[in-house]
C-alpha cells in the first residue's frame, strides 16, 4: 500500500470502489435477507451485546445528524 498516491482531501478512488460495491449489493437482491438476519440478531441472544455496542458507539458521537430529524 506504500505505492498509493496521495489524492488530497479524501480518497476518491476508495470512495468510488465503495460506492460501486454498495450499488452492486443494493441491486443483488441480498438486502432484504441481510435486514431480516439483522432483525433476528437484535431480537435474539445477540441483542444485548448489539445494543451495548450501539450505546458505546453513540457515546463517542458529537450528536445526531440533524438531517435524521427532517
- Given pLDDT bands bounded at 50, 70 and 90, which one contains residue 1? low
User: What pTM did the predictor assign?
Assistant: 0.59
- Name the grid cell of 25: 449489493
Chain centre distance of CA 10: 18
Closest CA relative to residue 53, chosen from 62, 42, 64 = 42
Distance CA 48, CA 25 (A): 28
Cell numbers 463517542 correspond to what residue?
60
pLDDT digits (tens, 9 = 90+) for 10-51: 889 999 999 999 999 999 999 999 999 999 999 999 999 999
Task: Give kind and range of the element (H or E) at residue 7.
Answer: none
Query: What is the spatial distance between Cα 10 and Cα 22, in angstroms, rounded to a whole number?
Result: 18
Amino acid at each position: 500500500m506504500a505505492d498509493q498516491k496521495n489524492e488530497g482531501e479524501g480518497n476518491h478512488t476508495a470512495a468510488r470502489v465503495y460506492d460501486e460495491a454498495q450499488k452492486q449489493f443494493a441491486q443483488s437482491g441480498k438486502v432484504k435477507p441481510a435486514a431480516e438476519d439483522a432483525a433476528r440478531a437484535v431480537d435474539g441472544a445477540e441483542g444485548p451485546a448489539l445494543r451495548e455496542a450501539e450505546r458505546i458507539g453513540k457515546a463517542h458521537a458529537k450528536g445526531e445528524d440533524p438531517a435524521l430529524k427532517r
